[in-house]
Amino acid sequence: MKIGVIHATCNAVPSLNNAFKELAPDATVVNLVNENLQHYSNEIGGIDDRTHRDYANLAFMAQGAGVDAIIVACTVLTPILDVVKPFITVPIMAVDRPMLENAAGNYDKIGVVVTNEPSGPLTRSQLENIAKDNGKEIKMETKSIPEAMAELKAGNEAEHNRLNALAAQELKDSGCEVIVFSQITQTTAEKETGILGIPTLTSPKEAVKAVIKLVK
């Protein structure tokens, strides 16, 4: 099994690699990284034609490498996930989809913590759509902490984790039943949020389980 993974930050690579090592140790993982995707989306506050083009280039590159499936590991790209489907022949999935289906399907009040600001509205929209498809109403609260991503990029993982835990605690205090970490990179804060007493959902392991099913 050979899986292509599209990233918009190098910081997300270890978390998914570790999930593959644990759940699919024989898989070959091809990481394709374009950090300008994230920088540019932050700059313009969303996505545009240039984002579409850069994403398509990475998807074509992954298919050219002979992968069996592609995971899009950048939440900013989720709304345009299907754009390349008519042009490639392998399955493609968003890294956070299984996690969001879990949250929307099993909880009524969801707390979302984001460290990349454009991801906030996108994650909320996905949760709302999943709940609507299931005939369910949910409530959501969001905490955006871009300073945590800045700390992680600067090599200050402990401070990144602390900021995520503080945001999660605030959401719990406001009545949220579950915490959704929007970015893969937030997986490093799982230990700190493990003491909250409510579930914290992260995307890497659920995505790996889902892609294994896709290619079997």
Tens digits of residue pLDDT in 125-176 = 889 999 999 899 999 999 999 999 999 989 999 999 999 999 999 999 999 9
* Percentage of the residues of the chain whose pLDDT score is greater than 90: 56
- Quote the number of domains for the chain: 2
Residue 77: which CATH number? 3.40.50.1860
Is the domain of 81 the same as that of 156? no
Is the domain of 82 the same as that of 144? no
> Is residue 4 scored above 90 in pLDDT?
yes
Is the domain of 80 the same as that of 129? no
> Is residue 32 scored above 80 in pLDDT?
yes
Is the domain of 89 the same as that of 105? no
Residue 54: which domain range? 2-95+205-215
Is the domain of 43 the same as that of 69? yes
**pLDDT band at residue 103 using 50, 70 and 90 as cut-offs:** very high
Is the domain of 181 the same as that of 211? no
> What is the pLDDT, as a whole number, of residue 53?
86
Is the domain of 46 the same as that of 119? no
Is the domain of 199 the same as that of 126? yes
| pLDDT, mean of residues 10-25 | 89
What are the CB-based long-range contacts (under 8 Å, 24+) for 101-107? 101/130, 102/201, 102/206, 103/127, 103/178, 103/180, 103/201, 104/130, 104/131, 104/134, 104/136, 104/138, 105/130, 105/134, 105/136, 106/178, 107/138, 107/177, 107/178
Locus of tokens 């890294």? 95
DSSP 8-state assignment for residue 26: T
> What is the pLDDT, as a whole number, of residue 153?
87
Is the domain of 47 the same as that of 102? no
- Write down the number of H helices and E strands in the chain: 9, 8
Is the domain of 111 the same as that of 136? yes
**pLDDT band at residue 36 using 50, 70 and 90 as cut-offs:** confident
> Which value, in Å, is the radius of gyration of the alpha carbons in the chain?
16
Is the domain of 81 the same as that of 116? no
Choose the weakest-confidence range: 3-7, 23-27, 114-118, 175-179. 114-118
> Is residue 78 scored above 80 in pLDDT?
no
pLDDT digits (tens, 9 = 90+) for 44-65: 777 778 888 888 899 999 999 9
- Identify whether the C-beta of residue 143 lies closer than 8 Å to the C-beta of residue 169: no
> What is the pLDDT, as a whole number, of residue 55?
87
Give the CA angle between residues 207, 209, 215 to the nearest 5°.
100
> Is residue 11 scored above 90 in pLDDT?
no
